[in-house]
Every structure is written in C-alpha cells, then in structure tokens.
C-alpha cells in the first residue's frame, strides 16, 4: 500500500470488516476485553458516549411521564417458570447462582458452600421480578398508568461475543409499564418505539426502519414486538431498539390485577422496551471510516480539540495564550441546546501525532493554532467528517459562530451520508433466484459483505422464514409500518403473498 493510501486503521473496512471494527474500538480507546470471558471494560471515552446516550434518553423518558426505579439483579428461578414462553426463550442464556459463599477446601483453594434452597437467575431481563413489585403497587385503575424505567446491567451467557454488539454483561435501560386497557398499552408500546427512532435519527444520526417482528423473532412472552432496524456499512442489519406489547401475559403470571371502573377485578396490560450499549456498536459501524471513529456531535463526549503548535518557549507563550482564550470563550457556548465541550492538547508530541490521536477518537472538530495564526488572527479548522488534511482558516473573531454552525452541519452531513448509503442498498426483489443471488457473497475473502436489505414478498410461513435463515443466514428483520401491504409471490416458496418485508443478514 502506498504512502498516499495509508490509513490509520488497518485492515480497512474493505479488507476485513470484522477486524476493522475491533481496531476502531482499540484506536479510539473505547473498550477492551476483560479477564472475565465475554465481558468488557468500557474505558472513559467509550463510557462518556454511553453517559450522553443515557442523559438524552433519560430526558426523553421523563418528558413522556416515566420515572426511574431500580430492581434486584437476582431473580428467583420460580419467577421465570411462571411464564413458559419467556423461560424457554432465555433458558440457554441464563447465569444461575446456586451457592451463597466460598469456603476453604483444605488444599489452598476454595469451594462453593451454602447451597441455596432456590437458585437465583442473574438478570437477563426484568419482566418477572418487576412484575412481582407491580402486583403490590397496582390495586385500582386510579394507580394506572404506571410508567417505570430502569437503568441497569444485564447478563446473558453468549457463546460468541463481540465488544458492544454482544457481550455476556452489558448496560441498558428497560422500561416497564402497566395500563388499564389494550388501547393504552398499545399506544405506549408504539410511542416508545417512536422515541427510540427519534433518538437514533436525531442524535445518533442513524436512519432506521420501524416495524414489527415476526412470530419467530419476537420477544419471548410478548404478544407483539416492534423494532427499529439500522443498516451498517457492511450492509448488515443491527436491531437498535425494541418495544414489546406484552398483553396480559405477564400480568397473569405475576398477578398484576386492579379494580376497574365498574368495581370488578381484572388483569392489567403491560409493556416493556429497551436499548443497550449495542448503540455504541451501531455508532461505530454506521459512521466510522478507515481512519477511526466518527462521532455525531450531538453524542460526542467532547466537540473540539485545540492543538497548539510551537517550537520555542516564546512561541509557546503566545500560542497558548490564544488557545486558552478560545477555550474560555467556548466554555458556555451551545449548539442546538447542547453545551460545547473542548479539549486543549498541549502534550509533548508532534502536532501530527496529536491530530491523529483525536482523528481516531472521532472528535468532530480540530483547531490548530501556530505562531503565524496568532499573527494573522486566524486559526485552522478541520472537520472529522472531511479528509484529515482538509483544513480551512477561520478568523478568531468569527470562530464561535463558525463552530456552532459547523457542528450542526456535521450532524446533518453524517446523517445524510448514512441515509443515502442505506437507501442505495435497499433493493426490491421479487424473484427467488435473484433473492438467493443477492445474499451470496461476491468476495470469498470477505463473506460478511453482501447485498444489503431486500424488500421482498413473504407468504408469512414460518417454514419459509426458517428455510431462508438456514440457507442464507438471512432473517426477516421487520414487517415495516410503511408500504408493507402488497400482493406478490413469496421469494421462498412462490405462493401468494400479501406482505412485503425487510430481509437482511444481521448482528
């Protein structure tokens, strides 16, 4: 590879997408594998992204009337057994606590002791344990709706793990609500899906498709599962949020009853919905390039870095004076109601080394200040969504205005790029052979790269869904809310179809 073609991240996306993803995480210093199998250590820059996700979503939840609570990480096994479909769906992923302590084994080691009368499941999801509390909190229709959210960690014993996308332990939020009737619960389910779609598109700059999961893909125990699906740069789908209409299933298993307006006792209607640190994986795969992480400004931990350049102590004094003045002026500056955070990097490294450090971390803007800039009253401004060496001079007197407008421009530009990529790679396919060809890798060395999303007819048969999954590792990602009702012939069996759905390979 020539010097002109060299990138900060190797291999590139085209060479090995899976390894590129891992190298972006490493170069941006987001996270690392821990000593516990399948678990990760989220490092400060990565955790700051999660904190911003949490802060924005938490505000959106509060605006829709939800309040935060916290429930135990340990769930009695008997609680899971109350809802048969639920326990079957999670049984293979559960970590189980069977003993309460360790004791010396007399050989210098330790053995488990204090066997529990009932094992505890380490929380894979909280419907059952939260339902036990809700059964005590809800007595009358006057107690409804009950709108609760929990920020927590989750444990699911995954066989194959990948940082942020699929780990044994991960962070998430899970909303749980109780309602008086079907209509209110269904309204809540779809409202929260819209909240996720709004957040994904307007903050993460990731376009999503809203729709319903098939019977085979829905949440265990739910009546209906709705989702937002996003396309990554390898054209795979990433489920980026789900909202579940649980009907009365969990209310019946947990005993959540209330006295209705006629004075009669009836079971409540419940919902649950959640997103996780998987969203950081979505950010990486939707926007980043072969030079590292690319962050939408609305979710970035810091928005710009000031890089002073000097060779002597005299130059240092004058350059640092301007750098610190700029940082102070931006201290209480906002763009689109978001406070602008700055970094001042005067480490004993070359300006090139410092530039590339921040490029790889995805900071949206970089400002370079040298002695000539001080003399001319200008600074050099570089955008992360442009080529690394693409810099423009900006007068210091106009810098604040330029930064505010540029950050908004970057946010819009990143979204538009992702939207164009997705739309270019959604293809209407009606023919069986064309469908199978679409999902056959064109490059044997890069099997993860394939066609994209197929918007195709499906007869609704579980058998056809399973055959496509077995043959191609392709699933129905969702039955989209828009344009799904259309007569056609199923791309699997050729029988009459009334639905057009989104097919894709996925994470």
94 backbone dihedrals φ, ψ, rounded to 5°: -85, 135
Contact (CB, 8 A) for 362 and 414: no
Q: Is the dihedral of CA 235, 236, 242, 247 positive or negative?
A: positive
Q: pLDDT value at position 462?
A: 96
- Longest Cα separation, the chain: 84
Q: What's the pLDDT score for residue 1?
A: 39
Helix (H) or strand (E) holding 444: none
Closest CA to 209 of 460, 425, 444, 422: 422
- Enumerate residues 6+ apart whose C-beta is below 8 A from 4: none
Half-sphere exposure of 13 (CA within 13 A, CB side): 15
Nearest to 360 by CA among 297, 449, 284, 421: 284
Neighbours of 483 (CB within 10 A): 9
**In the prediction, which pLDDT does 449 show?**
61
pLDDT at residue 84, as a whole number = 66
Q: How many CB atoms lie within 10 A of CB 364?
A: 27
Q: What is the pTM of this model?
A: 0.95
Identify the pLDDT of residue 294: 98
- How does pLDDT run along the chain (507 residues), one tens digit per residue? 344 467 999 999 999 999 999 999 999 999 999 999 999 999 999 999 999 999 999 999 999 999 999 999 999 999 988 876 777 778 889 999 999 999 999 999 999 999 999 999 999 999 999 999 999 999 999 999 999 999 999 999 988 899 999 999 999 999 999 999 999 999 999 999 999 999 999 999 999 999 999 999 999 999 999 999 999 999 999 999 999 999 999 999 999 999 999 999 999 999 999 999 999 999 999 999 999 999 999 999 999 999 999 999 999 999 999 999 999 999 999 999 999 999 999 999 999 999 999 999 999 999 999 999 999 999 999 999 999 889 999 999 999 999 999 999 999 999 999 999 999 999 999 999 999 999 987 766 655 567 899 999 999 999 999 999 999 999 999 999 988 889 999 999 999 999 999 999 999
Token pair recorded at residue 274: 């959640």
**Residues 453/459/463/466 CA torsion (nearest 10 deg):** 10
* Total residue count of the chain as it appears in this document: 507
The 3-class secondary structure across 367-421, one letter per residue, is EEECHHHHHHCEEEEEECCCCCCCEEEEEHHHHHHHHHHHHHHHHHHHHHHHHHH
CA–CA separation, 252 and 22 (whole Å): 44
- Domains of the chain, earliest start first: 17-287 (3.30.930.10), 302-409 (3.40.50.800), 426-504 (3.30.110.30)
Where is 471: in which H helix or E strand?
A: helix 462-472
The answer to whether the CB of 464 falls within 8 A of the CB of 492 is yes
Tell me the pairing of strands 110-122 and 74-76: antiparallel
CB atoms near residue 494 (< 10 Å): 13
> Residue 187: CB partners within 8 Å, gap ≥ 6?
none
SS3 65: coil
Helix (H, G, I), strand (E, B) or coil at 476: strand
């Amino acid at each position: 590879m020539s010097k002109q073609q060299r990138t900060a991240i190797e291999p590139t996306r085209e060479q090995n997408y899976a390894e590129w993803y891992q190298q972006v995480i490493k170069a941006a210093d987001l996270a690392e594998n821990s000593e516990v199998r399948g678990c990760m250590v989220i490092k400060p820059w990565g955790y700051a992204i999660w904190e911003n996700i949490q802060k924005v979503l938490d505000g959106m939840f509060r605006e829709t009337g939800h309040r935060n609570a916290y429930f135990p990480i340990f769930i009695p096994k008997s609680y899971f057994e109350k809802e048969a479909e639920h326990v079957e769906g999670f049984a293979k992923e559960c970590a189980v606590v069977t003993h309460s302590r360790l004791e010396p084994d007399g050989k210098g080691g330790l053995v488990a002791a204090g066997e529990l009368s009932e094992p505890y499941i380490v929380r894979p999801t909280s419907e059952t344990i939260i339902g036990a509390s809700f059964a005590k909190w809800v007595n009358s229709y006057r107690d409804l709706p009950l709108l609760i959210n929990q920020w927590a960690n989750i444990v699911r014993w995954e066989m194959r793990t990948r940082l942020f996308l699929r780990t044994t332990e991960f962070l998430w939020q899970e909303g749980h609500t109780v309602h008086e009737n079907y209509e209110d619960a269904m309204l809540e389910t779809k409202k929260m899906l819209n909240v996720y779609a709004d957040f994904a598109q307007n903050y993460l700059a990731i376009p999503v498709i809203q729709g319903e999961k098939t019977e085979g893909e829905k949440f265990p125990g739910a009546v209906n599962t709705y989702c937002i699906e996003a396309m990554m740069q390898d054209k795979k789908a990433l489920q980026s949020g789900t909202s579940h209409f649980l009907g009365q299933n969990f209310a019946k298993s947990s005993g959540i009853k209330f006295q209705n307006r006629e004075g009669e006792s009836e079971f409540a209607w419940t919902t649950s919905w959640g997103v996780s640190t998987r969203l950081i994986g979505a950010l990486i795969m939707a926007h980043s390039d072969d030079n590292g992480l690319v962050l939408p400004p609305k979710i970035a931990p810091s928005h710009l870095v000031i890089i002073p350049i000097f060779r002597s102590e005299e130059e240092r004094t004058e350059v640092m004076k301007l750098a610190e003045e700029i940082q102070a002026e931006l201290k209480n500056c906002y763009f689109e109601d978001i406070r602008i955070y700055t970094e001042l990097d005067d480490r004993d490294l070359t300006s090139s080394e410092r530039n590339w450090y921040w490029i790889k971390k995805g900071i949206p803007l970089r400002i370079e200040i040298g002695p000539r800039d001080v003399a001319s009253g200008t600074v050099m401004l570089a955008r992360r969504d442009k080529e690394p060496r693409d810099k423009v001079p900006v007068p210091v007197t106009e810098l604040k205005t330029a930064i505010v407008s540029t950050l908004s421009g970057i946010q819009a530009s990143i979204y538009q790029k992702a939207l164009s990529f997705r739309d270019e790679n959604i293809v209407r396919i009606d023919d069986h052979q064309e469908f199978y060809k679409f999902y056959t890798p064109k490059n044997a060395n890069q099997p993860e790269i394939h066609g994209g999303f197929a918007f195709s007819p499906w007869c609704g048969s579980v058998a056809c869904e399973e055959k496509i999954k077995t043959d191609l590792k392709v699933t129905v990602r969702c039955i989209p809310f828009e344009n799904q009702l259309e007569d056609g012939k199923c791309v699997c069996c050729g029988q009459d179809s009334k639905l057009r759905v989104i097919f894709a390979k996925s994470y």
